[in-house]
Amino acid sequence: MDGPYEHPYPSPELAAAHPFVEYAFERHSDEEMAQRARAFREESERRRSVRLFSPDPVPRELVEEAVLAASTAPSGAHKQPWTFVGTRDPEVKAAIRVAAEEEERVNYLQNRMNDEWLEALAPLGTDHHKEFLEVAPWIVVLFEQRFEQRSDGTTRKNYYVKESTGIAAGMFITAIHRMGLATLTHTPSPMAFLRRLLGRPDNERPFVMFPIGFPLDGARVPDLRRKPLDEVFVEVDRLE
Ligand SMILES: Cc1cc2nc3c(=O)[nH]c(=O)nc-3n(C[C@H](O)[C@H](O)[C@H](O)COP(=O)(O)O)c2cc1C
């Protein structure tokens, strides 16, 4: 571990107090890196949010793989402050649909969303009907853990809970897409009903809900454009 560092990491004192292991990093050729980068970008471009699902079943193992992939997300102080709660039970899914539609009815029909919000949503054609919550074979609700609840009854702080859970959500969506399934990032706000319906503890708060399955044959999606690189990436090459 020779290198240019005056202050090595871990320091000998740190390494004596806490275990460290060598990072099993695999370096690829420049060509292979470019090829992998392009392939991942192209595959990412094919991902779409789906609002019409087929009822075809999805094995639990696939959902577990996506949860494990998402759980590799970096998190503040490595607290992994998330719980993925999955259900394929028709009664549970039906109860989630009823409660979500109740909230969304208020959002869409009783002015809980302002005009600007409704205008932004117009191209997506979303409304208060959430039939897909019953049709999709799985619903996975991602909960953020506001604090850590230990089995001995004590609690500990979690750090950067929203940032960490958001990164895990992104990795979950990507894992689902890569394995050949589809999902929707769904937030029928307020989502407090999910904690009650799914019997989750006080320290957990619903973050996003993911219906998961295969798209219905012929399902259509809004014809959206994604921002070009120059609108989402800026390189700063001198000190301002
Ligand atoms: C935090 C978040 C919340 C969202 N909530 C909803 C929702 O409640 N209902 C819905 O139909 N789509 C929802 N979406 C999906 C977006 O509308 C969708 O990602 C966007 O239109 C881009 O489409 P794409 O995912 O196919 O690229 C949400 C997305 C995000 C990231």
Element containing residue 178 per DSSP (H, E): helix 161-178
Q: What is the pLDDT of residue 1?
A: 61
Q: What are 33-80's pLDDT values in tens digits?
A: 999 999 999 999 999 999 999 999 999 999 999 999 999 999 999 999
pLDDT digits (tens, 9 = 90+) for 67-76: 999 999 999 9
Mutate to test the pocket of ligand 1, among 187, 193, 223 (most ligand atoms within 8 A of CB): 187
Give the H or E element holding residue 92.
helix 90-109
Whole-number Å distance, alpha carbon 48 to ligand 1 midpoint, is 9
Are 62 and 212 within 8 A, CB to CB?
Answer: no
DSSP 76: G
Containing H/E element for 220? none
Q: What is the pLDDT of residue 2?
A: 64
Best residue among 48, 49, 189, 210 to mutate for probing ligand 1's pocket (most ligand atoms within 8 Å of CB) is: 49
Digit-coded pLDDT (tens) for 15-31? 999 999 999 999 999 99
Which residue, chain included where needed, has tokens 């950067």? 160
Could you give the angle at the alpha carbon of 62 between the alpha carbons of 54 and 172, nearest 5°?
Answer: 90
Alpha carbon distance 92, 100 (integer Å): 12
pLDDT in tens, 211-231: 999 999 999 999 999 999 999
Q: What's the fold here for domain 50-218?
A: NADH Oxidase (3.40.109)
User: Measured in angstroms, how far is the CA atom of residue 89 from the centroid of ligand 1?
Assistant: 24
Answer whether 140's CB lies under 8 Å from 85's CB: yes
Would you list the domain boundaries of the chain?
50-218
| Angular region, 129: left φ>0, alpha ψ -120 to 50, beta rest | beta
